A and B are shown apart, each in its own frame.
Chain A
Amino acid sequence: MSKIKCALIGPGNIGTDLLYKLRRSEVLEPVWMVGVDPGSEGLARARSFGLNTTDGGVDALLAHIAADDIRIAFDSTSAYAHAENARKLAAHGVLMIDLTPAAIGPFCVPPVNLDAQIGRRATNVNMVTCGGQATIPMVAAVSRVQPVEYGEIIATVSSRSVGPGTRKNIDEFTRTTARAVERVGGAARGKAIIIINPAEPPLIMRDTVHCLTVDAPDQAAITASVQAMLAEVQKYVPGYRLKNGPVFDGRRVSIYLEVEGLGDYLPKYAGNLDIMTAAAARTGEVFAREMLAGRWQLPTHLATEAIA
């Protein structure tokens, strides 16, 4: 089966873990890793896997897009860098999957709204945040049963799994996640809390979802919906587990989750990073299948240059 060729931008922890996942894909073939630092360990690793690499940033990649038939790019740089990367690659007709908090394109949480993104022919989708990927499926599992007045998520992550970018701008995490709890999760109002825990050995990511339903919760329907959603997420994150709940207390519905990663490049406790890269890979694969089936047409004014 032929594969859709893709590029990874940003050879850090996230980009490298994503590379491990894409190398296993039946429909995606990672061919380029793009960085800006010649000494980057991530670029060296990508080279050892047989990828083409450049330390010249996205500008150095542009010349190869048509020749190497790159159709999808994954950006795990920073919100700041993403805006420019997105503009340049969009002009070359490359579909962008954004793992930064830039959120230029619509939020994408695969089991909730990936189909809708394909339906609306999005050309740039944003993967929200790690906490968002872990919890929003469950907010949606409740809101698809009955209206949710308020959705709140608490993501607790190991100190070792939180990089300097997130630490420098932790407000971005809480704001973006809260917004996606509303827009994708379907809660009328959203709130997000992140707790960083330094325990050794590092704790596996924990996530708690609290929903306040408008009317008394339909316990049987919500429990069934939560179980169904659990199975959906487990398709791409096998270590996604329901530890307790759903607990019903008046109008409160609480769901207690644990996310263990696959341990590809990042350790298993870093389920927060794993669910991000797994969701991005899943998103890329679904788009790739559309492309392979001939159902995905790049915008024609852009595609001529890219595919010619």
Chain B
Amino acid sequence: MSLQGRKIRVHDMSLRDGMHPKRHQITIEQMKSIATGLDEAGVPLIEVTHGDGLGGNSVNYGFAAASDEDYLRAVVPLMKQARVSALLLPGIGTVDELRMAADCGIATIRVATHCTEADVSEQHIALGRKMGLDTVGFLMMSHMAAPEKIVEQALLMESYGANCIYTTDSAGYMLPEDVGARVGLLRDALKSDTEIGFHGHHNLAMGVANSIAAVAAGAARIDCACGGMGAGAGNTPLEVFIAVCERMGIETGVDLYRVTDVAEDLVTPILDFPVRIDRNSLTLGYAGAYSSFLLFAKRAAAKYDVSARDILVEMGRRKTVGGQEDMIEDVALDLARAKAAA
């Protein structure tokens, strides 16, 4: 099927999902310069918050270099065309933080739940819509539920007031046919004016291919990260995706050269280590574990002298979901004890 002339919007994740490989230490100045670069390159939507969303500051996920409010107040006024979004995971953040972010001038709120637990998002989605925000329901770890279940949960979010629903490959586990099946069923089941989105991780190098599969199945929003700066092996690399879209005639409105410059000149220099596929990030995609677990597993592995891969595989075996970072040290301690007893 030709995608020539298809119009989509890309949503940049480098200043939110990219907070994970930066241990949430991106400075306000770095946020301002990268966001300005993306704005000038024509990226229409940019997400800014703690990696785990509004209210994510915690021992469990890490304390960011600045508060969500300070980041948002610094970035939002600088944008000439781009609009800023914030992420909120009910159970971590509350409507209080949503109100704060709205006051900072965000245009979009994305309310994220595990893919089978959409009914915890009702109060947040309803409030987002009531405040006139572009309100997105974000179904995380979508590989853990069948396409029909994703549709059932999406319909709940739509009924609460979401005008866009994402199927989210938080573990970078899905293959193109998995993405196509979920997006296709969503497109058939949701209202015609409800948009569908896809958020990928590059742990099995499927970020771009999965995103194209999503567009082919009817997705109108695609999450990417400039320079690939996101959790695990990163999100779908923005500049690569834009190049592929240009080749295929998919219209994004993003300037390829400018966005490659932002990746190379602004994002890559601030990385603490290359965000890429290695034995640990690959294991996330292979085992189906939440991408943000990566650095926690590496730290616990070093501290307790066990393998990060073993930790991640065990996290997958325990069927952990997004946000269960606390179980990583628990697993590492269990593995260390088993090793000592062996």
Q: Which residues of A contact B (CB under 8 A)?
A: 150, 152, 154, 156, 159, 164, 167-171, 173-175, 191, 193-199, 203, 206, 208, 210, 212, 243-245, 247, 252, 254, 256
Contact = CB atoms under 8 A, between A and B. Distances in A.
Nearest to B94: A171
A288 B326 CA distance: 39
B90 A212 contact: no
B98 to A, nearest CB: 10
Contact of A175 (B59, B94, B323): B94
A208 B60 contact: yes
Contact of A208 (B95, B96, B330): B330
A244 B60 contact: no
A203 B114 CA distance: 15
B103 interface: no
A256 B91 contact: no
Interface string B83-94: 000000011101
Nearest to A175: B94
A269 B288 CA distance: 24
Contact of A212 (B59, B116, B117, B320): B59
Nearest to A154: B326
A252 B60 CA distance: 11
B116 A159 contact: yes
Given A150-B59, A195-B321, A196-B321, 9 more contacts: A156-B326, A170-B90, A170-B120, A193-B92, A196-B91, A203-B319, A206-B326, A208-B327, A243-B330
A150 B321 CA distance: 25
Interface in B106-153: 114, 116-117, 119-120, 122-123, 144
Interface in B217-267: none
Contact of B95 (A152, A171, A210, A252): A171
A196 B123 contact: no
Contacts of B117: 159, 167, 196, 198
Contacts of B330: 206, 208, 243-244, 256
A168 B60 contact: no
Given A193-B91, A210-B60, A171 B123 contact: yes
* Smallest CB-CB A-B distances: 10 pairs: A199-B319, A208-B326, A210-B59, A171-B94, A244-B333, A194-B91, A198-B116, A256-B330, A167-B119, A154-B326
Given A170-B90, A196-B117, A254 B329 contact: yes
Nearest to A191: B58
B324 interface: yes
Contact of B334 (A156, A171, A244, A247): A244
Contacts of B323: 154, 193, 195
Contacts of B90: 170-171
21 contacts: A154-B60, A154-B323, A154-B326, A159-B117, A167-B117, A167-B119, A168-B122, A168-B123, A170-B91, A171-B96, A193-B91, A196-B114, A196-B120, A197-B324, A203-B318, A208-B330, A210-B58, A244-B333, A244-B334, A252-B59, A254-B329
Question: Which of B120, B123, B323 has most A Cβ within 10 Å?
Answer: B120
Contacts of A196: 91, 114, 117, 120, 321
A194 B324 CA distance: 10
Contacts of A256: 326, 329-330, 333
Nearest to A210: B59
A198 B324 CA distance: 13
A272 to B, nearest CB: 13
Contacts of B123: 168-171
B58 A193 contact: yes
Nearest to B95: A171
Contacts of B327: 156, 206, 208
A194 B330 CA distance: 17
B114 to A, nearest CB: 7
Question: Which of B59, B318, B320 has most A Cβ within 10 Å?
Answer: B59
A212 B333 CA distance: 20
A154 B334 CA distance: 19
Given A195-B324, A244-B329, A152 B59 contact: yes
